[in-house]
Structure 1
Amino acid sequence: MNRYKEELCGDKVEIEKFDGGCIAVLSDGLGSGVKANILATLTSKIAVTMMKNGLSIESVVDTIINTLPTCKVRQLAYSTFTIIYVSNSGECYIARFDNPEVLIKRNGNIDIIEGEEVIISGRRVIESKFNLEKDDIIVSFSDGVLNAGSGKILNLGWDLKNVSEYIKMIPSNISSLSLTKKIIGICDDLYLQKPGDDTTVLSIKIMKNKYVTLFTGPPTDCENDKIVVANLIKSKGKKIVCGGSAAKIVARELDTDFEMDMKHIEGDIPPVGYIKNIDLVTEGVLTLKKVLEVLNDYNNNKYHIDDIFKDNKEENGAYKILKILIDECTNIDFLVGRSVNLAYQSLDFPDDLAAKIQIVEKIKDKLIELGKEVNIFYY
C-alpha cells in the first residue's frame, strides 16, 4: 500500500525465478514518494541482478551503498532491504539490512528467523542460513506493517508479537498471495484506510505442485465426449466441471447422476451441482465470467477473495472456483469444448457472454500473472 496521498510506493519487491531456485528482494526507500520509489527500485534491481549472477552479499551491499544518490536533507544514501534466496534443494539464505525481522511459519507455529551480524562497508547486515521444509511459509515486510495503527487504533503500532499471532491464526493451506493480502488488509484497517507509511508484505511458500483440471463446454464432435471425460477422470488433483452441457456429458459417461443444489438459488451466480467423483460442478459462462472479473485486478489490489465474497460464499460457484485456483493449486489444465451452446444464440445473449473460449483464454493469462502454470486443451 502507498502512503496516504502518495502516487508511488516507496517500497519495491523484485522476484526472479531461475533454474537453481528463486531470489526475492523487498526494499524500503528512504522517506516516501518518488525519491523513495527510485531508491527502492534501484536497490531491488541491483540486488536481484547481482545475486542471480553469483556475486557475494558483500559486493551487493557495497554496490548499493556506493550507487544510490544521497538525500540532501538527511545526508543518507540508502534504502533498507531484505534479500531471500531459496534453492531448489530447499536451502535458504537471507540477508537483512535495517528491515524488520523475517518470520517463518512451520507446522502451525511462528518463529523469528535468527541470524548473525556482519559488518559490510560500515553497515550492519543480519545473515541467516537454514533448510526449508514442505509447507514452510517465510514472511517478510517493510516497517509500514509494524507502524500500522500507530497513534490511531494502537498507541505504538502493530508490534512483531501481534503480527506473529495474526499470521499464526491464518490457515496454512492458503497461498502465499492470499496470506499477503490478509496481512495487508489488516494493516489497511489499522491505518483507517489512510496509511501513514508505505506498507509491503512479501511471503514465500514451499510446496509441491498441486493440480486442477477444469472441463467446460461440449466438444464439437460428440465422439470426443468419451475422450475428454477420460482425460478429466485420470487427471491429477481436483476436478471441476463448468456448465450444464459439460456436466451432463460427464454424468452420462460416468453412468451417474447430475444434481443441482436448488436450496441455494440467490444472487447473480447460478447454484452449484453435484456429480460423484467430481470435486466441483458449476454453471458455465456466467460463473466463469465472474471468475475473470475478480481475477482481472486481483494481483494489484489488496482484497482477498474472502473480502470480495462476503455473503453466502460457500454456495457461490465463482468463489469456490477461485478458492481452488488461487489457494489450492499450482498447475491448471483447462479442457475446453469448442461447440457453441445453442441456448445462448436462441436467447440472443451478448457475444461476449457466448464467447466462453475467450473468457477461458483471459482467465489463463490472469492465472499466469499469479504465478500458475496453465495449459488449455481444445476438443
Structure 2
Amino acid sequence: MSLYIDASYESLNKFNEELCGDKVEIIRNRDSVIVVLADGLGSGVKANILATLTSKIIGTMLTEGASVDEAVETIVNTLPVCRERGIAYSTFSILQVFYSGKAYLAEFDNPSMIRLKKGVFVDVERENRAINGKRILESRFSVSPGDLFVMMSDGVIHAGIGSTLNMGWQWENVRDYIAKTYRPDMSARNMSKLLISACDNLYSRMPGDDATAVAIKIREPVQVNIMIGPPVDRSMDGYVVGRFMEQKGKKIVCGGTTSQIVSRELNKEIITTINYFNPSIPPTAEIEGIDMATEGVLTFGKALEFVKNCFSSESTINDFLSLNKQDGASRLAKILLEEGTSMHFFVGRAINPAHQNPELPLNLSLKLKLVEEMAEYLKKMGKHVEVEYY
C-alpha cells in the first residue's frame, strides 16, 4: 500500500509567555512518518526545554531504530529535575505511521488521541504497559485513506476553564467538535488551525496554558504536474509536452505562450474566459486534457503569496477558506496546498523580456525564482517536489 501522511500542528502559548511549553517533531523517513508531541512540565522556558529535549530524544532514537522502552529510559535518566516540584518529566504522545498502512501509538499522560474513520469517531484499543515505572498506553493498528488522527496537549481540554466553561473543554467535547467540523477535503493543517482557533476563543484570547493540536491525515498520493514557461530550444516543445502529458495526476499549464505550445502539440483548442473573479488576477482558460490553464508569472506569483500566507505561523483558518475563491491564483494555491501530495514542475528557461532585469544572470529570472521559492515552501510542508528545466 502506498500512502501519503499529511501532518501539521498549531500551538498557543500561555498568556504572557514568549515560549511554548509544548513541542512537536514531525520526522519523515523512508518507510514511515513519526510524530511526537511533548508537553513540558509547567510553562515558559523550563517547560520549553523539557518538551524540546523529550521530543528530540524520542524522535531521534525511534528514527535510528531504538525501541520506545529505550527512548523512555533515556528520557527518565536525562531530563533535569524541577526544583519547585521535585519531578522531571514531560508527557508525550507518539504516532508512527508506516507507508505500508501499519501504525504504532504510545501515550504517556497526554489526552488520548482521537481517531476518525470517514468522519466517524472510532476508538483505538490500548494496552497498559509499565516502562521504568512510567505507565505507557500502547496500540498497534492499521490505517487507510481518509483516516484522521488528532493528538493534543492538556491545554486543549483545559480551554475556557473557570471563565467561559466551568470545567474546561472536556475531551468528549473536543472529540464531538472534531467530528462535527470535519470535511473529507479538509487538510491536516486546516484541522489543527481550526481546533486551536476554537481553543483561543474559549480562552478569550488569554490562554491559561500552552495548547497544541496535531492533526495527521492519511491520504492516497496525488501528483500535480505544472508546466510553466516554454523551453529554450523550440525543437524541444513536442518532447516536453509529451513528457508532461504522460505523467499521472493533475495537469496545470501556466503562461500564455506555454498554453499555446500545449494547444498546438495536442491539437486542442484554447477556450478563453473573460471572467475576472479578482481584477488583479488574469482569467483562466480551458484546454481539453488539462485540468487548469492560467496566465504565467502574475498568477503564479499571486499563488505563491497565498501559499506564504497559509504557511505563516500567524495564518488563520480564514487564510485557507479564502482559497475557495474562483480566480486562477486561489485555485492553483488550493491544489498545491490541499490536494496535491507531490509536485512535478516542468520549467521552460526561455526568458520573457518583460520579466527579466538585463543586469541579472539567467538563473535569477523572475519565473525561475518564483518556482524555486514555491518548491521550497512545498517541501517544508512535507510534500515531494521534483523540478525539471528545459
Instruction: Return the TM-score normalized by structure 2.
Output: 0.87
User: Could you tell me how far apart the structure 1 residues matched to 2:338 and 2:366 are?
Assistant: 27
- Write the deviation string for residues 248-267 of structure 1: whole angstroms up to 9, x where unpaired: 22223222332333233434
In structure 1, the partner of 2:239 is 227
Given the alignment of the two structures, is residue 56 of structure 1 paired with residue 67 of structure 2, yes or no?
yes
Given the alignment of the two structures, is residue 77 of structure 1 paired with residue 88 of structure 2, yes or no?
yes
Question: Which aligned runs of 4 or more in structure 1 are off by greater than 4 angstroms?
Answer: 309-312, 343-346, 351-354
Q: Of 344, 351, 365, which aligns to 1:340?
A: 351
Q: Which has the higher contact order (CA 8 A, sep 6+)?
A: 2
Q: Is the 8 A contact 1:211 1:332 kept in 2?
A: yes
Structure 2 counterpart of 1:330, one-letter code: T
Q: Report deviation, 1:222.
A: 2.3
Q: Secondary structure at the match of 1:3?
A: coil
Given the alignment of the two structures, is residue 269 of structure 1 paired with residue 304 of structure 2, yes or no?
no
Call closer, same or farther: CA 1:328–1:101 in 2, change over 3 Å. Answer: same
Given the alignment of the two structures, is residue 292 of structure 1 paired with residue 304 of structure 2, yes or no?
yes
Q: Of 274, 277, 280, which aligns to 2:292?
A: 280
Q: Secondary structure at the match of 1:315?
A: coil
More deviation in 361-370 or 129-138? 129-138
In structure 1, the partner of 2:6 is none
In structure 2, the partner of 1:255 is 267
Q: Report deviation, 1:138.
A: 1.9
Given the alignment of the two structures, is residue 35 of structure 1 paired with residue 52 of structure 2, yes or no?
no
Q: Of 141, 157, 178, which aligns to 2:152?
A: 141
Unpaired runs of at least 5, structure 1:
none
Call closer, same or farther: CA 1:352–1:316 in 2, change over 3 Å. Answer: farther
User: Could you tell me how far apart the structure 2 residues matched to 1:259 and 1:196 are?
Assistant: 56
Structure 2 counterpart of 1:119, one-letter code: A
In structure 1, the partner of 2:258 is 246
In structure 2, the partner of 1:87 is 98
Q: Of 96, 99, 108, which aligns to 2:107?
A: 96
More deviation in 175-184 or 362-371? 175-184
Call closer, same or farther: CA 1:312–1:211 in 2, change over 3 Å. Answer: closer
Give the 5 Å matches for 1:318-357: 318-344=329-355, 355-357=366-368
Q: Is the 8 A contact 1:94 1:128 kept in 2?
A: yes
Q: Report deviation, 1:353.
A: 11
User: Could you tell me how far apart the structure 1 residues matched to 2:321 and 2:94 are?
Assistant: 36
In structure 1, the partner of 2:229 is 217
User: Could you tell me how far apart the structure 1 residues matched to 2:57 and 2:364 are?
Assistant: 46
Given the alignment of the two structures, is residue 367 of structure 1 paired with residue 358 of structure 2, yes or no?
no
Q: Report deviation, 1:337.
A: 1.3
Q: Secondary structure at the match of 2:268?
A: coil
In structure 2, the partner of 1:208 is 220
User: Could you tell me how far apart the structure 1 residues matched to 2:35 and 2:324 are?
Assistant: 33
User: Could you tell me how far apart the structure 1 residues matched to 2:198 and 2:258 are?
Assistant: 40
- Write the deviation string for residues 99-138 of structure 1: whole angstroms up to 9, x where unpaired: 0111112122122323122233332221112122233222
User: Could you tell me how far apart the structure 2 residues matched to 1:316 and 1:4 are?
Assistant: 39
Q: Report deviation, 1:209.
A: 2.2
In structure 2, the partner of 1:166 is 177
- Write the deviation string for residues 67-97 of structure 1: whole angstroms up to 9, x where unpaired: 2111122222111100122233322221111
Given the alignment of the two structures, is residue 195 of structure 1 paired with residue 207 of structure 2, yes or no?
yes
Q: Is the 8 A contact 1:174 1:328 kept in 2?
A: no
Q: Is the 8 A contact 1:241 1:282 kept in 2?
A: yes
More deviation in 256-265 or 228-237? 256-265
More deviation in 105-114 or 212-221? 105-114
In structure 1, the partner of 2:189 is 177
Instruction: Return the TM-score normalized by structure 1.
Output: 0.90
In structure 1, the partner of 2:4 is none
Cα RMSD, aligned residues only: 2.5
Q: Is the 8 A contact 1:240 1:280 kept in 2?
A: yes
User: Could you tell me how far apart the structure 1 residues matched to 2:269 and 2:160 are?
Assistant: 53
| % identical aligned pairs | 44
- Write the deviation string for residues 46-69 of structure 1: whole angstroms up to 9, x where unpaired: 212333343333332232223211
Structure 2 counterpart of 1:160, one-letter code: W
- Write the deviation string for residues 215-273 of structure 1: whole angstroms up to 9, x where unpaired: 11122222222222222222110011112222222223222332333233434322222
User: Could you tell me how far apart the structure 2 residues matched to 1:134 and 1:110 are?
Assistant: 15
Q: Is the 8 A contact 1:226 1:253 kept in 2?
A: yes
Q: Is the 8 A contact 2:160 2:168 kept in 1?
A: yes
User: Could you tell me how far apart the structure 2 residues matched to 1:218 and 1:344 are?
Assistant: 14
Unpaired runs of at least 5, structure 2:
1-11
- Write the deviation string for residues 144-196 of structure 1: whole angstroms up to 9, x where unpaired: 22222334443333322332233223222333233222322332333333332
User: Could you tell me how far apart the structure 2 residues matched to 1:162 and 1:252 are?
Assistant: 57
In structure 1, the partner of 2:124 is 113
Given the alignment of the two structures, is residue 11 of structure 1 paired with residue 22 of structure 2, yes or no?
yes
In structure 2, the partner of 1:376 is 387
In structure 1, the partner of 2:142 is 131
Q: Is the 8 A contact 2:281 2:328 kept in 1?
A: yes
Q: Secondary structure at the match of 2:211?
A: coil
